[in-house]
Structure 1
Amino acid sequence: MISGGGPKKRQRVGSNSRLSSTVGVIDSARPDGTLTEASNHHKPSGVRRTASHSVLPSGRFNDSATADVILRLYIDQPSSFELDEAESRSAFDSVDQSDVQIYLHSDVLQRSKYFAALLSDRWQRDSGDVDSESSRKIHRFNLGVAAANGSINNHLTVLQLLYTSDFSNAINSASKALSILPVALELLFEDCVRVCVRFLEAVPWSEEEEKRVLSLIPLLTEEESQELIARVSPAKNDSSEEMLHGLIFAAIHNHPNMAFAKAFVAKLLRDFSSRQSACRVLDRAFDTSLKIVKDSLEEYSSPDFRGDHNETEAIQRLNLHTAMTNGRHLLWLIERMIELRVADTAVKEWSDQISFTTNLQRAFRDDMWKNIVPGLPVVILRCTCKLANAVAAGIILADRQVRMKLVKDWLPVLIVCKDKPMLPSYKSLYPELEETFLRIISTLPLSDAQELLQQCLSFSTRNVDDCPHLVNAFNTWFRRATRSPQADNLC
């Protein structure tokens, strides 16, 4: 992970890996034309980073008539041990030219701290020769360039940019900036580095371009890389979980097209790389919505009548609407948790809500909710049904006490709701939840099942054939209860 507070960036001169490798192949030309490799003790070190020169060029790029520096660029091919023949040929053919001689001007090259160091007295001393026609002192250098796509061309582009202060034509895309920046860093061309970094800060990147940015960030100073790091690396107070939580909150509370937003966030949750993170985010959102629903029902069931009647009624309406709205959010969250198989904590919470279920029974015995939020019982029971189905199907492996309390606490709510009229489209919810409760009861010890089954008599109807789930549950219990202990031991 990249961090703006990491170790201090390495100096570009003396310790930079790109620069060090290049220095080793730069030769100074002696007056007799013999090329000798610059010795290590002549290498510049600790060059201070000061403002770049803003000298206007004294000649044109590659103008042999006025140049006092002759630079030979050549492809520095990897050894045969590093590349096979096909790869070597491919690397060689990937550039337009493999050996280029260009004519430059020393006063222009001063904009590059790299060339400024090479042209200094410390390095040059008597290394230059004199052109017989112009009586100019000519400096000759060889510069090896790594065999990479467009490598020679990128060096030529950067050398041309030494002759101008307008980089806009050359640096006009993220790809171009990424190709030029390594060369500008190698040659310590600060003006060009600054423009490339500034351009990359301001434009979008493809995924591949982002990888290249990440590889170049360690070569930049802390100040130069600050904006790039902020774009690709989270700060201490940023995290994927906070982003997900914010998206969930926006989808269920603030977005005008709530259905579309919820569908999109659901996809993000399904595709999220860490199930543990998604679980923590959903648990947090679940707790928030559940608390709002519980608090609203608590206030509705135990109102403060110190105000006048109209004010109390308005508050009661608000409490019911709040419970209804957040109940829908709760149902969506439960569906997401079950889909991702991270609903274990939610089931434990839902099974330990004796005060909440008591308030629901009290509220549903009242007739006020019918005209205000007629769908509230359905929403609450659907939440219960989703979780109970997941337990009965083994999607959630709940402990015995959790299974017991889930049925024990929510069975009375179902019984109260059955006595109230329901829209025809929701009538199938009751038998579905009844059957699910009976399936969970069948997983409990006989003594616990006996206690709960006696409360399930309300599932019966006039016609016994209409409640086969209840008949099957009692038959199962009696079959187990009449089995002899000896048979149990043999099993």
Structure 2
Amino acid sequence: MATQTQPRRRASTWCCSFSPPPASPDRKLPIKSPAHCTNPTSNPTPSTNPRPFLTRRILSPGRVSPIDSDQITADLPPTPAPPCVSEEASTDFKFQLKEKGARRGFVVQLLDPGLLCDNSHFFRELIENDTTTVEVDNVDLYKDAIHFIHSTDKDFIASIVKTGVSKAIDLLQVMCTIKFERGILSCLKYIEAAPWTENEEEKLNILFSKIKFKEPIVEDIVLRLNQTADFSSSAEGDLAIHLIQQIANSTNSSARKDMQSLVKGILCDSSVYQKDQTGLNRDSLYQLCNSCLSSLKDLFKGEVSTDTRPLIEQVSSQVENLTWLFEILINNNMAEEFVDLWGSQEELVKLHECYSPMVRYELSRVSVCVFIALGKGKLQCKGDVRTQVFNSWFGPTLLDFGWLKRCPKGLDFRMFEETLGKALLTLPLVQQQRFFEEWFSCFSVRGMECPNLSTAFQVWWRRSFIRSVVHPGRGDHAVTS
């Protein structure tokens, strides 16, 4: 007689459900009367099948009766159902995980609470105190933590690799809360070896400021976070000056522009890379500025150089260095001295007059940057310093404006004309008159080859003549726009 077997299910050690557990199956099924029995006097012989629910009856030699589908053996004990962790009869401990403020939670039922007790001091106290409800910040993380307690280290690492560093940091915090040492170590091993985003690095910094770890691998993570005692802003500033100097000495135009943009970005106060105030040394930056100015003077003097590039290209490189350094100084609130430095370049102004516009116009790029910064109010220079830079470079800028328009290199001319006029209006009215007369003379001859300062000229005219008539008792210094 063929024996019919049924696959058995493996019993888990824990189970979770949002619904109440079903009723226990540990009860005997009702016995039906043998309605189709043909020989009431015969007794069925028990089968050797470990699950004997049905019986057969022999009617005669060589004949076997059909299976009595409605008859269940009464004198044999019912076969127990495969163990299920969601059934109350086989559950040793049950508790509910609930997020703070939530009404319903997640039911956790355990067949073997000892496994949790052996691995987590938190769950051992929970089970010993027979706690039925636990409020947590994130139920899903605690579910994952319980699952990982029942997993091997290899499976645990494989799981957190799939979820990523951010989830591993969250799990690490939960592992510390439930005091699961094996889970803490596994999370730290994965985090140490994986690349981080800036947001993940910030999460680690916050976590490490709250929790002190004893595991040796933490030292490697701390080194990646730059939390070392010998690191200081002065070291950062020295490195930045070294990089700036290398870029200033570069002869590759394309690479220099890329590196200038990179270094300017990481040193800029508004940069996404900026974390703390840099330790840039003011004197070191101005030494570099003076070095660029000396190189420009040597080039215009015709000094012999080892650089084989054309003169215009060498001049352009030094001008780019100066304007770039000026932007770094502005971003670090150190640029007022640069205005004084540029305004005092009498020798360079004289050399400017000796060269053709095709070469000399590059110097006016520096003047344009200074005038724009003054017109935007980014610099708090004294009046005599502003007057000095206009005395030195206002006239050369007017003469070079046509060449600047031919080679703009990103210059916004409408913005330049507006800011140049505003910067000029910050001077005493007597000085304004002298410079506006110089502009008027140049503009009447050169036209669009000269910047259009008509708007600022009208403001100066109203201040100087119309308002002085309306308020004759006021001095020039009291007149406002």
What range is the shorter-chain TM-score in?
0.5 to 0.7
2:184 aligned residue: 193
2:367 aligned residue: 384
Identical columns (%): 16
2:231 partner SS = coil
- Offset of 1:259 from its aligned partner? 5.5
2:111 aligned residue: 101
Amino acid paired to 2:139: N
Q: What is the CA–CA distance in structure 1 between the aligned matches of 2:174 and 2:457, rounded to whole Å?
A: 80
Q: What is the CA–CA distance in structure 1 between the aligned matches of 2:183 and 2:275, rounded to whole Å?
A: 45
- Offset of 1:400 from its aligned partner? 1.8
- Which structure 2 residues correspond to residues 282-301 of structure 1 after superposition, within 5 A? 287=286, 290-300=289-299
- Which structure 2 residues correspond to residues 132-211 of structure 1 after superposition, within 5 A? 141=128, 147=136, 148-150=138-140, 151-161=142-152, 168-173=157-162, 174=165, 177-178=168-169, 181-182=172-173, 185=176, 190-205=181-196
Structure 1 residues 286 and 434, CA gap change in structure 2 (3 angstroms): farther
Amino acid paired to 1:488: R
Q: Does structure 1 residue 488 correspond to structure 2 residue 474? A: yes
1:74 equivalent among 95, 104, 114: 95
Q: What is the CA–CA distance in structure 2 between the aligned matches of 1:102 and 1:302, rounded to whole Å?
A: 90
2:103 aligned residue: 88
2:361 partner SS = helix
- Offset of 1:442 from its aligned partner? 4.7
Query: CA deviation digits over 1:178-206, x for unaligned, max 9?
Result: 46545654676545433321111111356
Structure 1 residues 264 and 350, CA gap change in structure 2 (3 angstroms): same
Q: What is the CA–CA distance in structure 2 between the aligned matches of 1:176 and 1:143, rounded to whole Å?
A: 30
Amino acid paired to 2:184: V
Equivalent residues of 2:236, 2:278 under 8 A apart: no
Query: CA deviation digits over 1:41-66, x for unaligned, max 9?
Result: xxxxxxxxxxxxxxxxxxxxx9x9xx
Q: Does structure 1 residue 407 correspond to structure 2 residue 417? A: no
**Which structure would you say has the larger RCO, counting Cα contacts within 8 Å and 6 or more residues apart?**
1
1:353 partner SS = helix
Equivalent residues of 1:357, 1:410 under 8 A apart: no
2:213 aligned residue: 220
Equivalent residues of 2:319, 2:362 under 8 A apart: yes
2:427 partner SS = coil
Q: Please give the root-mean-square deviation of Cα atoms over the aligned residues, in Å.
A: 5.9
Q: What is the CA–CA distance in structure 1 between the aligned matches of 2:203 and 2:224, rounded to whole Å?
A: 14
Q: What is the CA–CA distance in structure 2 between the aligned matches of 1:380 and 1:282, rounded to whole Å?
A: 26
- Which structure 2 residues correspond to residues 325-340 of structure 1 after superposition, within 5 A? 325-332=317-324, 334=326
- Offset of 1:382 from its aligned partner? 2.1
Query: CA deviation digits over 1:312-358, x for unaligned, max 9?
Result: 365797987554213123335556877xxx59743542234355342
Query: CA deviation digits over 1:131-163, x for unaligned, max 9?
Result: xxxxxxxxx9567665442424523422444xx
Query: CA deviation digits over 1:456-480, x for unaligned, max 9?
Result: 6973765899988699589679748
Amino acid paired to 2:474: D
Structure 1 residues 226 and 72, CA gap change in structure 2 (3 angstroms): farther
Query: CA deviation digits over 1:396-439, x for unaligned, max 9?
Result: 45432232112122246447x66x99587259999998997676
1:134 aligned residue: none
- Offset of 1:176 from its aligned partner? 6.2
Equivalent residues of 1:251, 1:262 under 8 A apart: yes
- Offset of 1:262 from its aligned partner? 5.8
Q: How many residues align?
A: 368
1:346 aligned residue: 335
Structure 1 residues 485 and 232, CA gap change in structure 2 (3 angstroms): same
Query: CA deviation digits over 1:192-240, x for unaligned, max 9?
Result: 4333211111113567755664464314127443233333455453669
Equivalent residues of 1:446, 1:481 under 8 A apart: no
Query: CA deviation digits over 1:381-405, x for unaligned, max 9?
Result: 1221232134245454543223211
Amino acid paired to 1:324: S
Q: What is the CA–CA distance in structure 1 between the aligned matches of 2:160 and 2:265, rounded to whole Å?
A: 38
Larger Rg: 2
2:350 partner SS = helix
- Offset of 1:299 from its aligned partner? 3.5
Equivalent residues of 1:74, 1:99 under 8 A apart: yes
Which stretch shifts more, 448-457 or 386-395?
A: 448-457
Equivalent residues of 1:300, 1:316 under 8 A apart: no
Which stretch shifts more, 210-219 or 421-430?
A: 421-430
1:237 aligned residue: 231
Amino acid paired to 2:368: C
- Offset of 1:375 from its aligned partner? 5.3
Q: What is the CA–CA distance in structure 2 between the aligned matches of 1:249 and 1:325, rounded to whole Å?
A: 13
2:112 partner SS = strand
1:98 partner SS = strand
Amino acid paired to 2:193: A
Which stretch shifts more, 281-290 or 404-413?
A: 281-290
Q: What is the CA–CA distance in structure 2 between the aligned matches of 1:227 and 1:199, rounded to whole Å?
A: 12
Structure 1 residues 444 and 277, CA gap change in structure 2 (3 angstroms): farther
Q: What is the CA–CA distance in structure 2 between the aligned matches of 1:196 and 1:276, rounded to whole Å?
A: 27
Structure 1 residues 279 and 476, CA gap change in structure 2 (3 angstroms): farther
1:33 aligned residue: none
Q: What is the CA–CA distance in structure 1 between the aligned matches of 2:438 and 2:221, rounded to whole Å?
A: 65
> When the two structures are superposed, what TM-score results if normalisation uses the length of structure 2?
0.53
1:488 partner SS = coil
Amino acid paired to 1:225: V
2:80 aligned residue: none
2:18 aligned residue: none
Q: What is the CA–CA distance in structure 2 between the aligned matches of 1:228 and 1:424, rounded to whole Å?
A: 53
Structure 1 residues 303 and 215, CA gap change in structure 2 (3 angstroms): closer
5+ long unaligned stretches in structure 2: 1-82, 86-90
2:350 equivalent among 361, 364, 367: 361
Q: What is the CA–CA distance in structure 1 between the aligned matches of 2:166 and 2:422, rounded to whole Å?
A: 62
Q: What is the CA–CA distance in structure 1 between the aligned matches of 2:394 and 2:254, rounded to whole Å?
A: 36
Amino acid paired to 2:149: V
> When the two structures are superposed, what TM-score results if normalisation uses the length of structure 1?
0.53
Equivalent residues of 1:388, 1:437 under 8 A apart: yes
1:272 partner SS = coil
Q: What is the CA–CA distance in structure 2 between the aligned matches of 1:429 and 1:320, rounded to whole Å?
A: 22
Amino acid paired to 2:219: Q
Structure 1 residues 430 and 228, CA gap change in structure 2 (3 angstroms): closer
